[in-house]
Amino acid sequence: MSFEFGISKTMNRTYVHGYDPRENIRLQDQASTLVELLHSDTKYPPDSKVLEAGCGVGAQTVMLAQNSPGAYITSVDISESSIAEAKRRVEEAGCTNVVFRQGDIFDLPFGDEQFDHIFVCFVIEHLSNPIEALNCLKKFLKNGGTITVIEGDHGSTSFYPDSEEAHKAIRSLVELQKRAGGNANIGRELYPILNTVGFGSIRVSPRMVYVDSSKPHLVEGFIKKTFTAMIEGVRESALDAGMIDQPTFDKGIKDLYRTTEKDGVFGYTFFKAVAEKN
Ligand SMILES: C[S@@+](CC[C@H](N)C(=O)[O-])C[C@H]1O[C@@H](n2cnc3c(N)ncnc32)[C@H](O)[C@@H]1O
């Protein structure tokens, strides 16, 4: 759910993550804050082969490796530099069950039905062709194997005190991502997308992050360092594109920070889907 501009041969000027050191820190903050909510039920059996597609800087890879110490994890990303960083993190955490490969989801060098499970987190929201991407991944999955897809949905954001300017600033990010070929509201579409790709037994669970001042680690880790930092990150692009004026954007950011005060409240819903190939 975070981004910077980049180019991939398979994407139409799509947001690509993980080059900027500040972005790496933000992804790491995001991961540690949300790990329990999003991943506590992701555990793969010993000896199973797991493909993590679009691992980025490894923000979820360490969790995958630690939650499933007996599984063999192959993590791929299109970005060499992100993989180098992910490798460093995994080594630092002392995990020995992950191998990394640079590669494009649309053109990976794996054999058919090579993996028992596939894990994709915060990736398809950035692709102009998520159905094609999941179709490409599906062929690497054994019959009876599972795919887990986790995505955000910026349209789910709610907060107190409410602010039209904050909603406008958020919508400018949604619009920028749309112009880049992505979909920042893709969480709500996981069921129909997986259904279209032909997966069965699809189970989607909304995971709501609810924050008030009684949860200072989420005020800091989610509202400030994850969500508001992400919206702030598109300030120049949104202003340059003329999709919002500067006073409105800046007031929107101020109002998002206002939700971190004692009486403030913030909500955001992630969607986690698990489906089977059958
Ligand atoms: C927002 S990051 C998410 C990284 C990681 N899954 C996480 O949750 O922190 C999206 C990642 O998808 C990768 N990516 C985008 N398009 C890709 C493609 N066609 N093939 C492989 N990786 C891709 C980007 O390089 C980036 O690292």
Q: What mean pLDDT comes out for the span 154-173? A: 98
Confidence of residue 28 (pLDDT cuts 50, 70, 90): low
Rounded Cα–Cα distance for residues 267 and 260 (Å): 12
Q: Do residues 6 and 15 make contact, with C-beta atoms less than 8 angstroms apart?
A: yes
| Amino acid, res. 272 | K
| Amino acid, res. 105 | I
Lowest-pLDDT range, 205-209, 218-222, 234-238, 252-256?
A: 218-222
Ligand 1 centroid – CA 137 distance (Å): 14
Rounded Cα–Cα distance for residues 106 and 132 (Å): 8
> Taking 50 as the threshold, does the pLDDT of residue 213 lie above it?
yes
Ligand 1 centroid – CA 118 distance (Å): 14
With 0.75 as the threshold, say if the pTM is over it.
yes
Q: What mean pLDDT comes out for the span 130-136? A: 98
Q: What mean pLDDT comes out for the span 70-84? A: 98
Confidence of residue 35 (pLDDT cuts 50, 70, 90): confident
> Taking 90 as the threshold, does the pLDDT of residue 1 lie above it?
no
Pocket of ligand 1 (CB under 6 A): 2, 8, 10-11, 16-18, 27, 54-56, 59-60, 77-79, 82, 104-106, 121-123, 126
- Digit-coded pLDDT (tens) for 236-276: 999 999 999 999 999 999 999 999 999 999 999 999 999 99
Nearest CA, atom 2, ligand 1: 17
Question: What per-residue confidence (pLDDT) applies to 7?
Answer: 22
Q: What mean pLDDT comes out for the span 44-61? A: 97
Confidence of residue 36 (pLDDT cuts 50, 70, 90): confident
Q: Which one is predicted more confidently, 45 or 15? A: 45
* CB neighbour class for 40 (10 Å; exposed up to 12, middle 13-18, buried from 19): exposed
Rounded Cα–Cα distance for residues 172 and 244 (Å): 7
Give long-range contacts, CB 8 A cutoff, 24+ apart: 34-41.
Answer: 34/209, 34/222, 34/226, 34/270, 35/63, 37/207, 37/209, 37/270, 38/121, 38/150, 38/207, 38/270, 38/272, 39/63, 39/64, 39/67, 40/67
Question: What per-residue confidence (pLDDT) applies to 21?
Answer: 56
Confidence of residue 34 (pLDDT cuts 50, 70, 90): confident
Give the residue ranges of DSSP H helices in the chain: 21-39, 61-67, 80-92, 130-138, 164-179, 190-197, 216-218, 229-232, 235-240, 246-258
Question: What per-residue confidence (pLDDT) applies to 24?
Answer: 57
Could you give the count of Cα atoms lying within 13 Å of 136 in the half-sphere of its Cβ? 17
Q: What mean pLDDT comes out for the span 37-51? A: 96
Nearest CA to 45 among 20, 73, 24? 73
> Taking 60 as the threshold, does the pLDDT of residue 54 lie above it?
yes
Q: What mean pLDDT comes out for the span 181-209? A: 98
Question: What per-residue confidence (pLDDT) applies to 4?
Answer: 26
Residue 52 alpha carbon, nearest atom of ligand 1: 6
CB atoms within 10 A of CB 79: 20
